[in-house]
Amino acid sequence: MRIRAEYFGALRAKLARESDWLDLAPGSTALDLGRAATASMGRDWLPALRFAVNDVMAPPDAALADGDRVALLPPMSGG
């Protein structure tokens, strides 16, 4: 199934793009998408990532469906 991964904050800057379409196996979860999206990065982003599936905050074990949009949200800081 094809899922659109949308990147925000420092993750977007690190990947140098706003989004990707990723092919995942049926039954994949938001965490599976996070693993696939960040696999090429040297830093392990997974423990800190939060997910929103189709604009609704979702747990890492949320099941995905073909065509879903998943926002990968790293921790934010600012002042």
- Kindly tell me if the per-residue pLDDT of 56 is higher than 70: yes
pTM of the model: 0.89
Q: Is residue 9 within a helix (H) or strand (E), and if so which, with residue range? A: helix 9-15
Rounded to an integer, the average pLDDT of 11-32 is: 94
pLDDT at 41: 75
Which CATH number do you get for residue 45?
Answer: 3.10.20.30
Dihedrals phi, psi of 41, to nearest 5 degrees: -90, 145
Report yes or no on 65 lying in a domain: yes
Would 12 be classed as within a structural domain? yes
Residue 30 lies in a domain: yes
Indicate whether 79 pLDDT > 60. Answer: no
